[in-house]
Structure 1
Amino acid sequence: MKLLRRPVERDRPPIPDVAGAEYSYAQVMEVMRSLELSSCASRAKLVDMETRSVRRVLAVKPDGPWLVLINGTTWNVESRNAGVDTSFAVSRLALLPLLERPRDEVERLAEQALGPDGPDIAEALQAAIQCGLSGPSEYWISRALAWVINDEVGLFAGLLREIAVGRSRSQATQHAAKRLLKQNGHWPTTWRPPHS
């Protein structure tokens, strides 16, 4: 589905698509909402409502969306409007506001809801981090950098390198990414970024 090009808003950074066209945050959210609404009305459900078990684990915001566990094994996001109708690859964008809270608080709340024998919350938290690191917003990148723990640096090394050498990021953000890479042995001491 191709978005129609509209003037880019001044208050939010543009979001580039694969072909290089830029879309505003509002345009992206408008498409996300239309996908949610159309999925309710006309698309087949991803999982049959009678056969699945959906368990709310964590409220991203007080009134939703919610991080949910489907059939005790699959992470997804339940929205206020559409329920659980989109794939986790699409719906995980709704997890970004979790990055505004301390990671240990989010882990503690999720672990309380899951219990001692529950599945590992790391997959869902790593999805939120990946969305933040790969987004165009300096704000979400800096929030995601604060969430990356030493054990995850290898997992996100490619994205962290892009941020560390990228010319479009603030110096503080570049240095934070580089620091994580260096501290965990993922930054070669002889490598220099190419000059443009």
Structure 2
Amino acid sequence: MEKTLDTLDLTDASWNLLIHSYGPGEDENDPSVSKITDVDFGEQKFGKWKDIAATEDQLNELGVTDMLYVSGVGEYTTTFTLPEDWSDTTGAYLDVTYGKDQIGEITINGTALDANNASDRVDLGGYLVSGENTLTIKLSTTLYARMYATNSGYEGRDFGMGTGFMQPEDPEAFYDGLLSVTLTPYTQVAIQ
């Protein structure tokens, strides 16, 4: 039986972050309509969106004064290389850790895979190739941060959940962003 390759930690890889920010539509009183603004933040490390060093132009484009108030979908994209001996008998599990956000979709080499938030693991077995591979992870936040930015009347309310967990001094409590991404190879063996 051939040896399985070592785990590949992609956490510190070069990740590009494109944020699809959800904000109020033209009629701010209609919560069913959102304006979606796309801003490319280039190469970013994992972590809270509030820690992104956004320019004044980017903040203006997003319609906020601070990254703390951005809600939406973040597309994290990286490219990594697998060895030449990678074959159809080699697969890999993608393990993703994140905070209170949700993984919406994982795309590997152009193939979109549904994410199951009951598990932090996705089998990429049939989608990886030897050489260059491109991975995109879509992370969705709640809209609480944007709600703070556009309507201070929501501050301190518990929104019917009875927990009082949303306090005005801590609107970032919902956002952790991506924390780590690893690829754990496995070898498939036919049992006879």
Question: Please, what TM-score do these two structures have when normalized by structure 1?
Answer: 0.24
Task: Please state which structure has a larger fraction of its residues in strand.
Answer: 2
Question: Please, what TM-score do these two structures have when normalized by structure 2?
Answer: 0.25
For the pair shown, which has the larger CA radius of gyration, 1 or 2? 2
Task: Please state which structure has a larger fraction of its residues in helix.
Answer: 1
